[in-house]
Amino acid sequence: MSDEAIDVPRVGRWPKTKPIAARRSRAVLKQAGLHLVLLVVAAYFAFPFFWLVTSSLKDATQIFVFPPVLWPNPIKWINYPVAFEEMHFAHYLVNTLTVTVPSVVGTLISSAMPAYAFSRLNWPGRDLVFVLVLGTMMLPFAVTMIPVYLLFHALGWIGTYLPLIVPHFFGGAFFIFLLRQFFLSIPIEISEAAEIDGANELRIFLQMIIPLSRPVIATTVLLSFIWTYNEFLQPLIYLTNDSMYTLALGIVTFVGSNIQKWELLMAAAVMYCVPNIVLYFFAQKHFIKGIATTGMKS
Amino acid sequence: MFFIAPWVIGFVAFTAGPMAASLYYSFTDFNVLQPPIWVGASNYMHLVTDDEYFFQALNNTLYMVVVGIPATQVFAFITALLLNVKVKGIPAYRTLYFLPAIMPEVPITLIWAWIFNPQLGPVNAAISALGLVPPLWLSGPTWAKPTLILLGIWQVGTTTAIYLAGLQGVPQEMYEAAMIDGAGPLARLRQITIPLTSPVIAFNTIVGIIFFFQYFTQAYVASSTQGGQVGGVENSLLFYAVYLYQNAFQYLKMGYASAMSWLLFLIVMAVTLLSLYGSSRWVYYEVRQR
C-alpha cells in the first residue's frame, strides 16, 4: 500500500521537484509511524520474555523489593542449576519425552492414513465422513473426558503413560485435515502412473505420496510435538504418581512448594520453554504455513 | 477402508462411545467406587436450580467468551494488518509476534502471575509510579479475569498468522482500484479488507469461542499461584471446565460432572450453530458457495 499517487496532468506549469520531495517526506513519516506502532506492540510481546529472563537471574533479595529492579545485580547464574535440581527437571523432561515422542509417531501414522483416504481415494460417503472428522474438532474435550477416563480405569491404565500415548494412534482431526489438504495438491498423474505400473494403494502411499510430503510431515511432527509437550489437563488426570509427572505437572508442583522463590520459578519456566523456542527458530516457516493453511482452507 | 481404520476405531472408542456413555452417566449418581445409580434428571435439576457454583462457573466462562473473543480477535486482526505493511525488518517483527503463541501454557501463566504480582511486579510498579491505585490483578476478584484476557491477547500469534494469510489473499488490484476512486484507508478497510477476509474472521471467531468455553489450564495454574485454592479468589477464576474437573476428579461426582459436560456440549453446539448461521449471512465468499 504505497503512496504512489497517480500523476494527474494539470494545465500550466508547476515545479517538478517540490511535489516529489513532499511525497518522499510523507512516505518517510509514514514508515516512521509504522515502525513506532510496530515497536510499541513488539514491546508488549517482548517484555514478558525480558522480565522472565532477568527475574530468573536475580538474587532472592532483589526479588522482594518494590519497586522492582530492572536488571539483576549480581547475576545469579546459579539459580539455574538450583532450579534444575530442585524441580527434578531432568527426570520430568525424560518423562515428558517418553510421552511426546511416541505420541508424535502415532499421530503422524494415524493421521496420514485417513488423510490419504480422504484425498486420493474415492469411496461412497467420503466427503460426509470428512465433515464428521472436522466436526469432532469442535467437540469440547469435557464431553468425552469422563467416559474415556472410566474406560482407561476399567483397563487398569490409570497411573501409566498409556492413556497419554495410545489415543494419538487413532488419528487427530486437525492433522488429518492438514495432511489431506496437502495430499490434494499432489497431481493425480503420480498416482495414475504408479497404478499403471501395477502398484497397489499402500505402495503408492508409502513410496510416492509420503516422500513428496516432506513439508507437511515436518509441520505435523513439529506441531504435534509442541502440543503434546505443552499438555496439562491430560497428564493431570491420568498421572497419579509424582515420579511419573511430566514437566507441566512438575512445574506446578514446584510452584506449590516454592511459592515465594520466584527467581527459581522463573528459571524453571525458562528451561521449560527452551525446546519450544529452539524448535520455533529452527522451523518457523513450517509453523506459520501449517497454521495458516488450516485457517485459509476452512 | 484400511486407511481409515485408525480414525474409525478412534472415533468409536474415544468420541462416539464416550459421548453416549457420558449421556448415560449424566442421569446417574456415580462415584467410581460403586456402580452407578440411576437418578433420572436430578443432576440437571440440581445444577440449574441449587448450585451457585455452577452459575458462577458459567458466568466466568461466558465472561471470557464475551470479552475475550472481541479483545483477542480485534487485536489479532490489527496486528495482522500491521504485519502486512511493507516496512524494513517485518520478518523480525513477525517472528517476535508469533513467538508467545507457541509457548507452553503452564510456565507462561506463571510468568504472567509474576509480572502482575500486586506487591512486587513491574506492572504495579509502573502504575504506582504514575500515581494510580495499583489493582490486585490475579489476587483480587475484579481484575483476575482481565489479567487472563491480557494473557490471551499476548498469545494471539496463531490467530494473527491466520489473519495475515487471509489478508495476503486479498488481491492488490482491489486496493489500487479503490485508491483511484479516492477511497481513504478507513474506507478501504471497511469495504475491501474486512469483507474479503470475513471467512477467516468467522473461522477464527468460532475456533476462539470453542477455545474459551473449555478454558482450563491457564485458570488452574493461575489460581495455583494464589495459594492453591482452585478457582481463585472468591471463585473469580472458577471456570466451567475447572468446576467440571473438580466435580469429577476431586469430589468424584462423575454423574454430576457428566451432566455438566453435556450441558456444556449443548451450549457450545448452540453457540457454534448460531455463529455458523450468522456467518452465512454476512460472510462474503469470492466464489458463491452453495
User: Which residue, among A73, A71, A76, has the nearest Cα to A54 in the 3D structure?
Assistant: A71
**Does residue B29 lie in a domain region?**
no
- Residue A67: its pLDDT value, please? 78
Number of residues written out for chain A: 298
pLDDT band (50, 70, 90) for residue B73: very high
Interface predicted TM-score of the whole assembly (ipTM), two decimals: 0.83
Please report residues of A whose CB lies closer than 8 A to that of B105: 230, 232
Where are chain A's structural domains? 1-56, 79-297
As a dihedral over the C-alpha atoms of residue B48, residue B50, residue B56, residue B62, rounded to 10 degrees, the angle is 0
Rounded to whole angstroms, the Cα distance separating A252 from B216 reads 14
What is the CA angle A181-A182-A183, rounded to 5?
95
CB atoms B7 and A291 under 8 Å: no
Picking from B12, B58, B83, B106 by the largest number of A CB atoms within 10 A of its own CB, the best residue to mutate is: B106
pLDDT > 90: percent of chain B? 14
Its domain, for residue B200, covers: 51-282
pLDDT of residue A18: 53
A35 at interface of B, judged by CB pairs closer than 8 A? yes
C-alpha cell at A226: 509442541
Mean pLDDT score, B210-230:
83
Q: Is residue B211 part of a domain?
A: yes
Question: What does the pLDDT read at residue A20?
Answer: 73
> b or e along B232-253 (b: 16 or more beta carbons within 10 Å of the residue's beta carbon)?
bbebbbbbbbbbbbbbbbeeeb
The predicted structure's pLDDT at residue A5: 52
In a domain, B39, yes or no: no
Give the CA-trace dihedral at A214, A215, A219, A220, to 10 degrees: -40
Which pTM does this prediction carry?
Answer: 0.82
Q: What is the mean pLDDT of chain B?
A: 85
Domains in chain B, number? 1
Write the CATH number of the domain with boundaries A79-297.
1.10.3720.10
Q: What pLDDT does B288 receive?
A: 42
pLDDT at B66 over 90: yes
CB pair distance less than 8 Å for B203 and A295: yes
B226 lies in a domain?
Answer: yes
Does any CB of chain B come closer than 8 Å to the CB of residue A7?
no
Residues in chain B: 290
Q: From residue B89, how far is each of A171, B65, B83, B227 by CA, in Å?
A: 39, 35, 10, 44
Kindly report the CATH number assigned to the domain that includes residue B225.
1.10.3720.10
Tens-place pLDDT, residues B163-202: 988 888 888 888 888 888 887 778 888 888 888 888 888 8
Taking chain B, what is the end-to-end CA distance rounded to the nearest angstrom?
29
**Would you give the DSSP letter of residue B189?**
I
Determine contact, residues A152/A162, Cβ cutoff 8 Å. Answer: yes
Per-residue model confidence (pLDDT) at position A2: 44
What pLDDT, on the 0 to 100 scale, is given for residue B187?
Answer: 81
Whether residue A263 contacts residue A56, with contact meaning beta carbons closer than 8 Å, is answered with yes
Three-state secondary structure readout of B227-249: CCCCCCHHHCCCCHHHHHHHHHH
In chain A, which residues have their Cβ closer than 8 Å to the Cβ of B88?
A: 31
Helix axes A17-56, A262-297, angle to 10 degrees: 130
Min distance A219 CA to chain B CA atoms (Å): 13
In the numeric block, which cell numbers belong to residue A23? 511525497
Q: Which A-chain residues 156-185 have CB contacts (< 8 A) with chain B? A: 167, 169-171, 176
d(CA B238, CA B145): 10
Q: Does A117 touch chain B (CB under 8 A)?
A: yes
Contacts of A124 by beta carbon, 8 Å cutoff, 6+ apart: none
- pLDDT of A108 reads 92
Contact of B22 with A144, CB cutoff 8 Å: yes
In a domain, B189, yes or no: yes
Residue B75 in domain: yes
Cα–Cα dist B290/B279, whole Å: 14
Verify whether the Cβ–Cβ distance B120 to A116 is below 8 Å. no
Could you give the CA distance from residue A133 to residue B157 in angstroms, rounded to a whole number? 25
Angle B238-B242-B245 (CA atoms, 0-180°, nearest 5)?
A: 145
Chain B residues in contact with A113 by the CB 8 A cut-off are 2-7
Q: Do the bridges between strand B37-38 and strand B28-29 make them parallel or antiparallel, or are there none, so unpaired? A: antiparallel
- The residues of chain A scoring below 70 in pLDDT are 1-19, 286-287, 290-298
When pLDDT is cut at 50, 70 and 90, the band that residue B63 belongs to is: very high
- Could you say which of A63, A146, A269 has the minimum Cβ distance to residue B22? A146
